[in-house]
Amino acid sequence: MKNTIAIGSDHAGFEYKEALKEYFTSKGIEVKDFGTFSNASCDYPDFAHPVAENVENGSCNFGILICGSANGVAITANKHQQIRACIAWKSEIAALARQHNNANVLCLPSRFISLQEAKEFSDTFISTEFEGGRHENRVNKITCA
């Protein structure tokens, strides 16, 4: 299955979202953009929920959400039962979230990382495999329902 990324941001993450969308498209990766579509002030849940829903229902392999701190979008995405959203501020965090937690949505804090770091962390996230093994049992205990 070809990698498809659902992407969304609020106004604080808009410029990074646009740049990441172009970056992944140039690499032949399909990107579904769920907004926002300008840097006008907006509410992050309006974009985090559709990204999470599209990862949850399998129409996208991964999600990337960007806001100022990444906290709001991570909290929102993690309300979805099949979503494991992580906040990454280092490449190693993005890798471990995939390897150990089988994270499927990457949340990036645009006010605290550079665009180059956002690209690096995103590349690491989508190219890292879940290790399974001892981590599988732990991940299976995450959902409440």
Query: Residues 11, 49, 100, 135: which is the catalytic one?
Result: 100
Of the listed 60, 67, 86, 107, which one is catalytic? 67
Q: Which of 139, 107, 132 is nearest to 122 (CA)?
A: 107
* Residue 49 lies in domain: 4-140
Count: domains in the chain: 1
| 21 has a pLDDT exceeding 80 | yes
Task: Give catalytic status of residue 107 as yes or no.
Answer: no
Nearest to 65 by CA among 53, 55, 57, 73: 73
> Residue 104 sits in a domain of what CATH number?
3.40.1400.10
Report pLDDT for 90: 97
Q: Once rounded to an integer, what is the mean pLDDT over residues 121-140?
A: 94
Question: Does pLDDT of 144 surpass 80?
Answer: yes
Query: What pLDDT does residue 33 have?
Result: 98
pLDDT reading at 1 higher than 60: no
Q: Is 100 a catalytic residue?
A: yes
Let me know if 98 is exposed, middle or buried by CB neighbors in 10 A (0-12, 13-18, 19+).
buried
Contact of 65 with 75, CB cutoff 8 Å: no
Q: Is residue 117 part of a domain?
A: yes
Query: Does 145 fall in a domain?
Result: no
Helix (H, G, I), strand (E, B) or coil at 6: strand
Give pTM, 2 decimals.
0.96
